[in-house]
Amino acid sequence: MTSVGHSLVGASIGLVCLPGFKKIQNRLVFLVGFIAVASLPDWPIPGWGHYRLDISHSVIVNGGIMLGLVLGMRGLAGPTLQTYRLAVVGMLITWLSHFLLDTLYVDSSMALFRPLSDIEISLPVPWLKTMPHVPPPFDRQILSIFWYEALTFMPFLILAAIWRVRSRSVVPGSGDGSNT
């Protein structure tokens, strides 16, 4: 999956989990954080990302990191974790969504359970294709791939926005820091 699909899914989940921040900057930072986490396994860090797919795209490895982070946060900032539990759960789901989306390429199969298993998962969607090269250049083929991903995942963002507007109108008066 390219960053288009991951970003749209991250923004959609972020929108559903967005706390009732009054400041627009806080909302934007929150959503950007979700978009960043949606692509976290692809981050170009040495020993991670596409340098080491067996590590960065292992649900076992990532699950261990998630567990460590949650336990660490619980120890260091338990009350904050409790206040923002919906956001934390949403962020973990966003992180995990990366692996599902990566199996949706028509020509991809992912060994997601290394080092425990080499079994490869593939859930191909006929119109979602891998990029022939990393852009730039943004040629016709790359733009077509982005376009199909946008068409596929944009409805999730629209639905999340509608859900958000409707839920906010049902539960008015939330202040900073409250989960709704």
Q: Site residues (CB under 5 A) for Zn ion?
A: 41-42, 102
Task: Tell me which amino acid residue 167 is.
Answer: S
Between residues 131 and 159, which has the closer beta carbon with respect to Zn ion?
131
Between residues 100 and 150, which has the closer beta carbon with respect to Zn ion?
100
In the complex, minimum distance from the CB of residue 110 to Zn ion, in angstroms, rounded to a whole number: 8
Between residues 1 and 16, which has the closer beta carbon with respect to Zn ion?
1
Tokens 């789901």, located at residue: 93
Q: Please report, for residues 3, 16, 131, 163, the alpha-carbon distance to residue 34 in angstroms, rounded to integers and kept in the order given.
A: 12, 11, 23, 18
In the complex, minimum distance from the CB of residue 57 to Zn ion, in angstroms, rounded to a whole number: 6
In the complex, minimum distance from the CB of residue 102 to Zn ion, in angstroms, rounded to a whole number: 4
Cβ neighbours, 10 Å, residue 134: 8
In the complex, minimum distance from the CB of residue 95 to Zn ion, in angstroms, rounded to a whole number: 11
CA dist., res. 88 & res. 30, Å (int): 11
Closest alpha carbon to 127 in 110, 150, 109, 158: 150
Element (H, E) at 150: helix 140-170
In the complex, minimum distance from the CB of residue 81 to Zn ion, in angstroms, rounded to a whole number: 27
Q: Please report, for residues 11, 14, 21, 115, 143, the alpha-carbon distance to residue 106 in angstroms, rounded to integers and kept in the order given.
A: 24, 27, 39, 24, 17
Between residues 42 and 149, which has the closer beta carbon with respect to Zn ion?
42
Between residues 39 and 84, which has the closer beta carbon with respect to Zn ion?
39
